[in-house]
Amino acid sequence: MDTLDLESVLKAVKSLVDYHLPQIPFSPEMLTASGLAISLGLLLVFSGFTVSRLLVAAVGFTAGGVMGSVIAQRFALSQPLAVALGGLIIGYLFFRSFRLWLTLGTATVALMAMAAIQTDGAALNELIAPRLGDGEVITLPTPEEQARNLQGDLRTQLDAIWERASARLSNMTFREAFLPGAAAIVGLIVGWRAARGLAAVWLGLIGAVLAFSGGASLVCAQWPNARPELSNHPQYVLGGIAALWLLGLLSQARHVRWMKRPAAPAAPTK
């Protein structure tokens, strides 16, 4: 079975920069978006353990608000009231059951990590930048289309990556799916015992990617010549993300309690 190596990872990072790091002109909107990405990323990197429960509650509040909006439209109710009530109720439920959601997140990350380790370099790059099929040809865009869409819409790109990844997971054989499934089960067991500690690890990694992406987009907007440098030296991207992630883990180490401590025995009564 082919597995992932460092060279394949570097090629995948190069493909990400080439295909999915947009060349956005410097503007107040771009500065605001990059600033938010960097701020949120650094918050996850250095405070993921502390804010993990609030983050779960925020996700629940958002999901509840969406559900409330749908219900309000369906039954002709007051939309602001339905959104507020839905957000508060679901957000509270998520807040109370945060350990469950963090455990499920850890299991999902373990499954995806093991599946990625088993993926060879060619398949990984095909997920990011798929090759043309037999008989398929490239249709060049018109000058008007090029001017209107210099870079593909980010949501469209992410949806395409998700579809290709989902198709690959669904086509895995039992042998290929065994190790990712086992990793998910271990993630469930260990994650329940150390929900916030393990969540700080993968939240920190997500934050490092988010912060570095925001910083790289800002640098490329201010200095366009930096984009080819990032593309030609993907080890800088990977090294920067890894360094920020490890720095955050070291910073949070004093807060992390990996396993529940056993309850102290009651003091003997006299």
Question: What does the pLDDT look like over 64-86, one tens digit per residue?
Answer: 999 999 999 998 889 999 999 99
Segment 41-68, tens digit of pLDDT? 999 999 999 999 999 999 999 999 999 9
Of 142 and 52, the one with more pLDDT: 52
pLDDT at 4: 56
* Residues 200, 48 contacting (CB under 8 angstroms): yes
- Type of residue at 212: F
C-alpha closest to that of 127 among 9, 222, 7:
9
Average pLDDT over every residue of 139-148: 53
Average pLDDT over every residue of 228-256: 85
DSSP 151: S
HEC letters along 33-53:
HHHHHHHHHHHHHHHHHHHHH
Average pLDDT over every residue of 205-228: 87
Average pLDDT over every residue of 98-117: 91
Is the confidence at residue 182, as pLDDT, over 90? yes
Report the 10 Å Cβ neighbour count for 94. Answer: 22
Tell me which residue has tokens 């198709």.
167
Question: How far apart, in whole angstroms, are the C-alpha atoms of residue 256 and residue 109?
Answer: 19
Q: Taking the model in full, what pTM does it have?
A: 0.75
HEC letters along 90-131:
HHHHHHHCHHHHHHHHHHHHHHHHHHHHHCCHHHHHHHHCCC
pLDDT at 150: 47
Question: How far apart, in whole angstroms, are the C-alpha atoms of residue 46 and residue 194?
Answer: 18
pLDDT at 213: 87
- Residue 164 burial class via C-beta count within 10 angstroms: exposed 0-12, middle 13-18, buried 19 and up: middle
* Residues 37, 210 contacting (CB under 8 angstroms): yes
pLDDT at 20: 57
